[in-house]
Amino acid sequence: MRNIVVEEFKQIPLADQKLEVVERKGLGHPDTICDSILDRVSVELCKEYIKKFGTILHHNADKSLLVAGEVETKFGGGKVKQPMLMIFGDRATSTVGNKSIDVDAIAVSAAKKWLNENLRFVDPDKHMKYQSELKPGSAALTDVFKRGGEILGANDTSAAVGYAPMSPTEQIVLKTEQFLNSKKFKKDFPEVGEDIKVMGVRTGDKLNLTVGAAYVDQFVKSVDDYFKSKDDVLERLKDFVKENSDLKVDLSLNTLDVKDRGVDGVYLTVLGTSADGADSGQVGRGNRTNGVIPLNRHTGSEAAAGKNPVSHVGKIYNILTHKIAYEIHNEVEGLDEVYVWLVSQIGKSIDQPAIAAARVIPSAGTSMAEVKKQITEVMDSELENIGKFTKCLAKGDYSVC
């Protein structure tokens, strides 16, 4: 029997509260780059471990620093003076018996693949340097993998929390960034880079969306050209938001800009990311695993990106709590909001958390007696099938940011 607790959460649903703050760091933001690349490193390590050793071995590639480079921006096209530096950190098994794999080469290859697939103007060989500090794991943590079994023990005592559904504010913040980084939008506005951040502040039914979008200088001929593009982008954004949100939205774009200061007064980059010459990045400073930074919600402190997908609850539970909350909200009628907590105890099987708790806000007319059994059954089923879930994590089927 699992220790499952279900109770009523006596709180006003977030969408009905007066104030809400939500942030989204986009595809080319330095922190998102770190999260995305380090998780790709874990996926590629899993593939190689299974290929070479027949099973996933201990690794936690969840520490990283993206050191910003140096550029000279210029209308019509600037230049990269110093490349960015990607530092990979923490632990990865490289040798078992007389078999070994080159974890450093796998990490660098994974980073280059991700950069090629996602950042149009970053040449992985020319614009990025790499430094791998992936070392062997401790005896105690690597022994968790030697103990075998389909379901491993947790390699940490940790807690995670997820929720469902996403509020209208969270949804439009997420959708806005995804729209700006869509292939269709880039075709129409190639000058808008991948480094996009969206901040949403809702008071009542009024939402202020502040968008920061890095421009690619090779597509911008002058200050006037830049500000004309901003006007065009804002018009396109207004149409998109109107079609995708019922809130009264006020949009702002690149509010630091000052027209009479030339290159220095506008948001220009050479490569479409502020990491080319301004901002560094780290794993864990970006979006939660559902894609936003929800300042009104309960959140955990663990970074999911790069952690191994079969024993590290910092990854497994961070994503699974959101999945369980979604399944409860989807399958059990009469619930306005669902919050799910999972707490692990190091060494104990990950399908047997120390506690699995659901706190739900029932809709008007719904009693806890009506829904408690169903909620418990959904939670128990999700934990029972955690082995299938971790296999999906290992393949990269779930986004971490």
- What count of other Cβ atoms lies within 10 Å of the Cβ of residue 257? 15
The CA–CA distances, whole Å, from 253 to 179, 256, 287 equal 15, 9, 20
| Domain closes at, from 237, 254, 282 | 282
What is the average per-residue pLDDT within 287-298? 97
* H-helix segments, 197-278: 223-244
In a shared domain, residues 295 and 378:
yes
How far, in Å, CA of 75 to CA of 219, rounded? Answer: 8
Cβ contacts of 344 within 8 Å, gap of 6 or more: 154, 156, 157, 158, 159, 313, 317, 350, 353, 354
Residue 325 has pLDDT above 90, yes or no: yes
Residue 140 has pLDDT above 60, yes or no: no
**Weakest mean pLDDT among 63-72, 143-152, 278-287:** 143-152
Nearest to 401 by CA among 41, 92, 37, 20: 37
Residue 138 has pLDDT above 80, yes or no: no
- pLDDT range class, residue 137, cuts 50, 70, 90: confident
CATH number, domain of 40, equals 3.30.300.10
CATH number, domain of 219, equals 3.30.300.340
How far, in Å, CA of 220 to CA of 268, rounded? Answer: 9
In a shared domain, residues 277 and 293:
no
When divided into structural domains, the chain yields a total of 3
Which structural domain, as residue segments, surrounds residue 262?
A: 168-282
List the beta strands (DSSP E) in 105-232: 128-135, 159-164, 192-203, 206-216
- pLDDT range class, residue 356, cuts 50, 70, 90: very high
Average pLDDT of the residues of the chain? 96
Question: Is 391 exposed, middle or buried (CB count within 10 Å of its CB: 0-12, 13-18, 19+)?
Answer: middle
Q: Quick: pLDDT tens for 82-111.
A: 999 999 999 999 999 899 999 999 999 999
What tokens appear for 116 in the block? Answer: 């090629």
pLDDT at 118: 98
What is the average per-residue pLDDT within 362-378? 97
Task: Tell me, yes or no, whether 21 lies in a domain.
Answer: no
In a shared domain, residues 186 and 251:
yes
In a shared domain, residues 293 and 264:
no
In a shared domain, residues 261 and 237:
yes
Residue 344 has pLDDT above 70, yes or no: yes
- pLDDT range class, residue 192, cuts 50, 70, 90: very high
In a shared domain, residues 323 and 359:
yes
Which helix (H) or strand (E) is 96 found in, with range?
A: strand 95-96
What is the average per-residue pLDDT within 39-47? 98
Residue 149 has pLDDT above 80, yes or no: no
Cβ contacts of 249 within 8 Å, gap of 6 or more: 172, 206, 207, 208, 209, 238, 241, 242
- What count of other Cβ atoms lies within 10 Å of the Cβ of residue 55? 12
pLDDT at 86: 98
Write the single-letter amino acid at 343.
Answer: V
pLDDT at 141: 60
In a shared domain, residues 303 and 229:
no
pLDDT at 1: 85
- pLDDT range class, residue 143, cuts 50, 70, 90: low
| Higher-scoring residue by pLDDT: 155, 164 | 164
What is the average per-residue pLDDT within 295-300? 94
In a shared domain, residues 304 and 342:
yes
Task: Tell me, yes or no, whether 340 lies in a domain.
Answer: yes
How far, in Å, CA of 58 to CA of 342, rounded? Answer: 22
Q: Quick: pLDDT tens for 257-271.
A: 999 999 999 999 999
Residue 34 has pLDDT above 70, yes or no: yes
In a shared domain, residues 258 and 205:
yes
Task: Tell me, yes or no, whether 152 lies in a domain.
Answer: no
In a shared domain, residues 36 and 134:
yes
Q: Considering the entire predicted model, what is its pTM?
A: 0.96
